[in-house]
Amino acid sequence: MSARDVVITGIGLVSSLGEGTDAHWQKLSTPGTLPVLDAERFAPYTIHPLPEIDWSLQIAKRGDQRQMETWQRLGTYVAGLALADAGIKDNEELCATMDMVVAAGGGERDVAVDSDILAASAQRDDFDVLLNEKLTTELRPTLFLAQLSNLLAGNISIVHKVTGSSRTFMGEEGAGVSAIETAAARIRSGQSTHMLVGGAFQTEHPDMLLGYELAGYLHRGEWKPVWQRQGAEGGGIVSGSGGAFLVLESREHAEKRGQRIYATLGPVASGRARRGRDELAAGINRLLDTVDATETGLLAISGASGAHKATAAEKAVLDARTDIAARAFSTLTGHLKEAQFPFAVALAALAVSNKAPYPPFEAGEKAFDGSLKSVLATTIGYHHFEGAALVSAAD
């Protein structure tokens, strides 16, 4: 134990399963919970949709809500949940000195405008001029801001007054890994005392599916759990809308203000295995070594996406460690892209704090009755980058 241990004191979660830590713990710790799926709206793709959300619970001003599209609203909302959970929301002094790292993709483009441009292109051979005509007359200025990656953090500053510092990392799952790794490193080194870190993903937009499907990564046909998609039609990923934010603090900072601690965030490891050279399995093993996942009998909250190659590599590594019981939460939430690693760490913290494991999320996952002193969280990117962390009991 050290004053500069990184502890988790706030968790904000939203997924198709609901919102908040209690709703997620309830559903995920109950055996046989079924996923919430929408197989119609984006057929042939299945997605896990957002639950109904009353945005005004975390974003009081209608004017602020109007300045955002769903992705930024979602992230700002989840960040608010985390701040409230940590007892920091509306605490002006703590928010003004709080550092923030957001893992962000992009926001939603205007589908109507884009489709209109494409439709008009059939009658024109001067596409670039057409583009100018349409974009200058049809784009809404606010929508541009709603698309900007760094404006999720910008909106969190505006709505929740988190202004110590604001950084946005981009780049799919790796952004979430780096965000947590950097935040933890800053606290451990004394560069920061309390941080807000996390991300959100809103998959219910054709461009968000396109981001996967340009490489054929999406699962098609009948829905299956994460580990059972090998060989099925499509690329294996079923995406979901949701987000996860964590409040990380130095132990000293949290204890001084008497804040409940969920868990300690132990070592965080990140990597960039050269997958073209078949180095992913070795890379995953290296991550496990780095976070010192040596305890015998370990629960692993896996961020496996279902993407065939990456998920097969992760499965092989975890299967080889016969004492590890993996829980691929995307079976129940869908793949949350930038939010995937923060979500994995959050679920690990909930298990540690509740001193109870999750039941298998699908038939192929084995039972677990070992110690919950430490829980492993992994996220192996569907295309590149990977990370892991060990989350341990607070005391």
Partner 1 sequence: MTKFKDHLGRPVVAVTGIGVVTSLGVGKKDNWEALTAGKSGIHPITRFPVDQLNTRIAGTVDFLASSSRGASALTYELAETAAGEAVAEAGLAIDDFGGPLFLASPPVELDWHDRLALYKGGEREPASDRLLEVARNLNSLEMFDSSQFASIADRLADRFGATGLPITLSTACASGATAIQLGVEAIRRSEAQRALAIGADGSATAEALIRFSLLSALSTSNDVPEKASKPFSKDRDGFVLAEGSAALVLESLESATARGATVLGIIRGCGEKADDFHRTRSKPDGSPAIAAVRAALADAGLGEDGIDYINAHGTSTPENDKMEHLSLSTVFGEHMSRIPISSNKSMIGHTLSAAGAIEAAFSLMTMREGIIPPTINYDNPDPAIALDVVPNVKREARVGTVLSNSFGFGGQNTCLVMAREPV
Subset of residues 98 to 137 that bind partner 1, contact rule: CB under 8 A:
100, 104-106, 109, 111, 114-115, 118-119, 121, 126-129, 131-133, 135-136
Min CB(45)–partner 1 separation in Å: 8
Tokens, residue 49: 């949709």
Work out the angle between the directed axes of helices 21-29 and 340-354 (0-180°, nearest 10). Answer: 80
Min CB(74)–partner 1 separation in Å: 17
Min CB(72)–partner 1 separation in Å: 10
φ, ψ at 394 (rounded to 5°): -60, -35
Tokens, residue 47: 């997605």
End-to-end CA distance of the chain: 8
Q: Could you tell me if 243 and 102 are in contact, meaning their C-beta atoms sit under 8 angstroms apart?
A: no
Cβ atoms < 10 Å from Cβ of 362? 15
6-15 vs 263-271, strand pairing mode: antiparallel
User: 298 pairs with which residues across the strands?
Assistant: 324
* Contact string (CB under 8 A) for partner 1, positions 141-160, x = contact: x--xx-xxxxx-xxx-xx--
Which CB atom, from 101 or from 301, has the smaller least distance to partner 1? 101
Min CB(26)–partner 1 separation in Å: 34
Which CB atom, from 218 or from 394, has the smaller least distance to partner 1? 218
Q: Could you tell me if 328 and 354 are in contact, meaning their C-beta atoms sit under 8 angstroms apart?
A: no
Which distant-in-sequence residues (6+ apart) come within 8 Å of 126 by Cβ? none
Min CB(4)–partner 1 separation in Å: 12
Q: What is the largest CA-CA distance in the chain?
A: 69
Min CB(170)–partner 1 separation in Å: 4
Running DSSP on this structure, what letter comes out for residue 360? P
Which CB atom, from 234 or from 360, has the smaller least distance to partner 1? 234
Which CB atom, from 360 or from 387, has the smaller least distance to partner 1? 387
Q: Could you tell me if 333 and 36 are in contact, meaning their C-beta atoms sit under 8 angstroms apart?
A: no
- Pick the binder of partner 1 from 4, 62, 66, 272 (CB under 8 A): 272
Which distant-in-sequence residues (6+ apart) come within 8 Å of 89 by Cβ? 80, 83, 95, 160
Tokens, residue 34: 């079924």
Min CB(239)–partner 1 separation in Å: 12
Instruction: Tell me the window of 163-171, 339-347, 351-359, 363-371 that interacts with partner 1 (CB under 8 A).
Output: 163-171
- Pick the binder of partner 1 from 250, 270, 305, 353 (CB under 8 A): 270
Which CB atom, from 118 or from 316, has the smaller least distance to partner 1? 118
Min CB(339)–partner 1 separation in Å: 14
Q: Does 165 bind partner 1 (CB under 8 A)?
A: yes
Which CB atom, from 141 or from 258, has the smaller least distance to partner 1? 141
Min CB(338)–partner 1 separation in Å: 9
Buried b (16+ CB within 10 A) or exposed e, 217-246: bbbbeeebbbbebeebebbbbbbbbbbbbb
Which CB atom, from 216 or from 316, has the smaller least distance to partner 1? 216
Residues 326-385 binding partner 1 (CB under 8 A) are 381, 383-385
Min CB(198)–partner 1 separation in Å: 16
Residues 287-326 binding partner 1 (CB under 8 A) are none
Number of residues binding to partner 1, judged by CB under 8 A = 81
Residues 38-97 binding partner 1 (CB under 8 A) are 45, 67
- Pick the binder of partner 1 from 20, 171, 297, 364 (CB under 8 A): 171
Instruction: Tell me the window of 33-41, 174-182, 307-315, 345-353 that interacts with partner 1 (CB under 8 A).
Output: 174-182
Residues 3-42 binding partner 1 (CB under 8 A) are none
Q: Could you tell me if 245 and 195 are in contact, meaning their C-beta atoms sit under 8 angstroms apart?
A: no
Residues 191-250 binding partner 1 (CB under 8 A) are 191, 206-207, 209-211, 213-216, 218, 234-235
Structural element, H or E, at residue 333:
helix 330-333
Q: Tokens 């039941």 identify what position?
A: 359
What is the C-alpha to C-alpha distance for residues 209 and 49, in angstroms, rounded to an integer? 13
CA-based Rg of the chain, rounded to a whole angstrom?
A: 21
